[in-house]
Homo-oligomer: A and B are copies of this chain.
Amino acid sequence: MLPDKLRRLVQLLARLPGVGEKTAQRFALFLVQQGDYATALGSELALLASSIGTCERCRGVSEIDAEGRFICHICRDTRRDSHLLCVVARIQDQIAIERSGAMRGRYFVLGRLLSPLDGIGPTDLPLTSLGQRIADEGVEEVIVATPPSVDGEATALLLAQEIEKLGVLVSRIASGVPHGGDLEFADQVTLGRAISQRRGISTTR
């Protein structure tokens, strides 16, 4: 019942993550009714692939520079501690950590986690690029910030094995009850970790 052009748009929009056909149709009708907005978004998207890409150093997201290279502003930032490298699974995780303001080093985005069930093994991870980066920049500590899930832990273990071979210190982000979280509603694994990974407290600092 929709015009062909609109049906094609609905199909395209339904490829966005978490968007089904109903939502895609809602987006499409909104876009049709807001012509100027659709045009603005369209021109932004049409230029996206040529102006934004994967940072060649950290595999995060980067704008193209004057020489046509993709090096993100974090990798360029000379005030960053180049001895400290934080390995994350996804760009989203990098953004979340960056927002916390707690990371003064640089990043490396794996892009995926080990996942034997999905057939993703060690050779599917960019371990060579990671090793290269560690060597190139004289990294002294690698913080593995993969998520505290089964796949995330397996990946962390693999990374620890590989990185230790290079004689570099490897650490893992802490896992426990989140700030503001209610113990009553925390799951068993989280509570178990919070207890087994307890830290000493001192009133004298």
Contact = CB atoms under 8 A, between A and B. Distances in A.
Given A25-B95, A30-B17, A46 B42 contact: yes
Q: How many copies does the complex hold?
A: 2
Interface residues of A, number: 53
Contact of A23 (B6, B18, B41, B63): B18
Contacts of A169: none
A136 interface: no
A5 interface: yes
Interface stretch (A47-55, A80-88, A140-148, A186-194): A47-55
A91 interface: yes
A87 to B, nearest CB: 17
A102 interface: no
B45 A39 contact: yes
Interface stretch (A7-15, A120-128, A196-204): A7-15
A98 interface: yes
Given A3-B52, A12-B44, A32-B48, 18 more contacts: A1-B74, A2-B95, A5-B52, A9-B48, A15-B37, A17-B30, A25-B92, A29-B61, A29-B92, A32-B53, A36-B49, A39-B45, A39-B46, A41-B45, A42-B45, A42-B46, A42-B47, A46-B46
Minimum-distance CB pairs A-B, first 6: A42-B45, A35-B49, A42-B46, A3-B63, A1-B98, A38-B48
